């Protein structure tokens, strides 16, 4: 059993001819068949699918780069590290793994080592067994509650006798899994989340992968959509670089961006959609990356480590990433949110304090260069991954309802793979099919299976 954040528990044909728009390149076209807002995993997947159907697509991206929540930092340290998503789960069905190989990137084996620290010592085998048993019991009660009609919080159904393992169990199932504490998390949403076994990374980074997959896509960077006028017939998207008219639109911005009102809609989008998005707000999850030369923690390559904790002030460490001297201390949930609000200095101070507590001050004094992500403060994303609040699980389906000729996509719209890159990718392909059908470029039935849906398991009930 892996104790990672998730672990425990051919469109290319049409691409060659696609024009490439970049920030300073050709002016924005005035029209397209379908316009896509956002060049994260969902937006790039949608663009590739539309291009493969030989329809004209333009992607507008507010940021100066492709990737959204998949960004690989190749400049801060001497090895690449993913500032956002890092793992590809479920290798048998995850389309990202096949796509990574198809563009010549290296897919690494899942980390073998998972460790538990109890203060300054490693947990003994028997203690790890006890922890895993607590985790299984907690998961089971959440699954049972998730099968009920009443959508309650995961915290309210947790066994009361988890003893010393309550803190670590809550951290793994809540903050680490979904970026929210269990009291803020819908039991049905958690129970429906598809198991995420294994944790496979891409040597060059998941951000590098999305960038490569989007390389041939017509993406206009640094081009935020500011206003969208829509009807049943067409949409007109305004940006600082001009206006573009299309017969359909796919909107992939995060739920927090949608509810923040950064994009004005005319007419307003239905209250029902906004209410749904507000029940699927983003949790908090960040990486605090430390350069620790000389392996002062005595850990192996790609070791994953958590602690027996009795509070939310805890973290998960991914050590010696890819054999380098980089270690990532991951924080999430309410604690991670408060910490990230205090800024990068406070985040690094916590990482130092945590290393000192678990490995001693000498180990902490070996820390050299540091870098911390702050996804909640990232203006075009505003958080980490969507997680339904108690009572909010049905909202995912609501988000997939068409709005005139607009279709929402993105991880939040996936019922079982929410909060993942593959879920975002699949949602982009699904929205592209819906938009293509809308403009008559795809027959109504049967649904063209996506590479990734073909082999998918049925949703867990």
Q: How many CB atoms lie within 10 A of CB 65?
A: 16
Nearer to ligand FAD, 136 or 260 (CB): 260
What residues are paired with 153 via a beta bridge?
186
Shortest spacing between CB 421 and ligand FAD, in angstroms: 4
Taking CB under 6 A as the rule, does residue 107 contact ligand FAD? no
**What are the tokens at 48?**
């590739």
The residue within the footprint of ligand FAD, chosen from 14, 95, 174, 224 (CB under 6 A), is: 224
| Stretch binding ligand FAD (CB under 6 A), from 19-27, 41-49, 165-173, 434-442 | 41-49
Per CB under 6 A, which of residues 258..317 are in contact with ligand FAD?
A: 262-263, 285-287
Q: Does 70 bind ligand FAD (CB under 6 A)?
A: yes
Under the binding rule (CB under 6 A), the answer on residue 420 touching ligand FAD is yes
Closer to ligand FAD by Cβ: residue 159 or 379: 379
Q: Report if residue 431 touches ligand FAD, rule: CB under 6 A.
A: no
Provide the H-helix boundaries in 218-366. 255-260, 271-278, 333-342, 344-359, 361-365
Told to check if 228 binds ligand FAD by CB under 6 A, we report no
Confirm if 250 and 428 have CB atoms less than 8 A apart. Answer: yes
CB 97 within 8 A of CB 91: yes
Q: Which two three-digit tokens encode residue 178?
A: 């979904």
- Locate 373 and state its tokens: 């992500």
List 47, 49, 52, 61, residue binding ligand FAD (CB under 6 A): 61
CB of 352 to ligand FAD, least distance (A): 20
Biggest CA-to-CA distance, the chain: 66
**CB nearer ligand FAD, residue 167 or residue 207:** 207
Residue among 9, 21, 35, 37 that touches ligand FAD (CB under 6 A): 37
Out of 202, 305, 306, 424, name the contact with ligand FAD by CB under 6 A: 424
Per DSSP, the residues of 289-305 read EEE-TT-TT-PPTTEEE
60 vs 358, which CB is nearer to ligand FAD?
A: 60
- Closer by beta carbon to ligand FAD, 363 or else 388: 388
Which residues touch 125 (CB under 8 Å, ≥6 apart)? none
- How much of the chain is helix, strand and coil, in % rounded to 5? 35, 20, 45
Separation between Cα atoms, residue 38 and residue 287, nearest integer Å = 23
- CA 207 remoteness from chain centre: 11
Which range touches ligand FAD (CB under 6 A), out of 55-63, 266-274, 312-320, 392-400? 55-63
Say which DSSP state 123 is in.
Answer: P
Q: Are 452 and 416 in contact (CB under 8 A)?
A: no
Which SS3 state, helix, strand or coil, does residue 60 take?
strand
User: How far lies 426's CA from each of 13, 94, 221, in Å?
Assistant: 18, 10, 23
Residue 328 in the binding site for ligand FAD (CB under 6 A): no
Q: Which of 3, 32, 41, 372 binds ligand FAD (CB under 6 A)?
A: 41
Q: How far is the CB of 72 from ligand FAD (least distance, A)?
A: 12
**Which residue lies nearer to ligand FAD by CB, 164 or 215?**
215
CB of residue 100 to ligand FAD, shortest distance in Å: 13
Does 450 bind ligand FAD (CB under 6 A)? Our answer is: no
Q: Which region, judged by CB under 6 A, interacts with ligand FAD, from 57-65, 159-167, 337-345, 364-372? A: 57-65
Stretch that binds ligand FAD, among 78-86, 152-160, 228-236, 394-402 (CB under 6 A): 78-86
Q: How far apart are CA 170 and CA 152, in angstroms?
A: 16
Residue 41's contacts (CB-CB under 8 Å, 6 or more residues apart) are: 68, 69, 70, 210, 411, 421, 424, 425, 428
Contact residues for ligand FAD, defined by CB under 6 A: 5, 37-43, 60-63, 68-70, 84-87, 224-225, 252-254, 257, 262-263, 285-287, 373, 375, 380-381, 384-385, 410-411, 419-421, 424
């Amino acid at each position: 059993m892996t104790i990672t954040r998730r672990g425990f528990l051919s469109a290319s044909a049409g691409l060659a001819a696609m024009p490439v728009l970049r920030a300073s390149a050709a002016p924005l076209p005035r029209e397209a068949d379908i316009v896509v807002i956002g060049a994260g995993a969902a937006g790039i997947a949608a663009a590739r699918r539309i291009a493969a159907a030989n329809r004209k697509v333009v992607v507008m991206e507010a940021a100066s780069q492709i990737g959204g929540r998949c960004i690989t930092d190749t400049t801060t340290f001497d090895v690449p590290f993913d500032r956002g998503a890092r793992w590809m789960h479920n290798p048998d069905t995850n389309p990202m793994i096949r796509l990574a190989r198809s563009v010549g990137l290296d897919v690494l084996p899942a980390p073998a080592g998972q460790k538990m620290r109890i203060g300054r010592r490693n947990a003994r085998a028997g203690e790890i067994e006890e922890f895993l048993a607590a985790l299984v019991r907690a998961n089971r009660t959440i699954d049972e509650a998730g099968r009920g009609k009443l959508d309650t919080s995961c915290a309210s159904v947790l066994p009361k006798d988890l003893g010393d393992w309550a803190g670590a169990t809550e951290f793994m199932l809540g903050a680490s899994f979904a970026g929210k504490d269990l009291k803020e998390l819908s039991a049905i949403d958690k129970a429906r989340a598809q198991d995420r076994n294994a944790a496979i990374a891409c040597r060059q980074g998941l951000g590098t992968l999305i960038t490569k997959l989007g390389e041939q896509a017509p993406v206009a960077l640094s081009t935020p959509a500011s206003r969208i006028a829509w009807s049943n017939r067409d949409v007109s998207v305004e940006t600082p670089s001009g206006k573009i008219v299309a017969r359909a639109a796919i909107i992939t911005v995060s739920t927090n961006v949608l509810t923040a009102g950064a994009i004005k809609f005319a007419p307003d989008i239905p209250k029902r959609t906004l209410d749904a998005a507000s029940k699927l707000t983003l949790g908090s999850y960040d990486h605090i990356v430390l350069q620790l030369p000389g392996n002062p923690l005595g850990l192996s390559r790609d070791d994953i480590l958590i602690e027996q904790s009795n509070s939310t002030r805890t973290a998960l460490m991914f050590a010696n990433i890819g054999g380098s001297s980089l270690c990532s201390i991951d924080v999430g949930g309410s604690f991670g949110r408060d910490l990230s609000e205090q800024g990068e200095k406070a985040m690094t101070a916590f990482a130092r304090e945590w290393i000192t507590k678990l490995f001693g001050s000498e180990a902490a004094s070996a820390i050299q260069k540091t870098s911390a992500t702050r996804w909640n403060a990232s203006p075009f994303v505003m958080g980490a991954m969507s997680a339904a609040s108690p009572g909010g699980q049905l909202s995912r389906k609501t988000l997939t309802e068409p709005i005139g000729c607009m279709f929402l996509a993105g991880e939040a719209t996936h019922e079982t793979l929410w909060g993942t890159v593959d879920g975002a990718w699949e949602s982009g392909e699904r929205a592209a099919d819906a938009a293509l059908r809308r403009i008559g470029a795809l027959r109504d039935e049967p649904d063209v299976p996506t590479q990734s849906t073909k082999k998918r398991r049925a949703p867990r009930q």
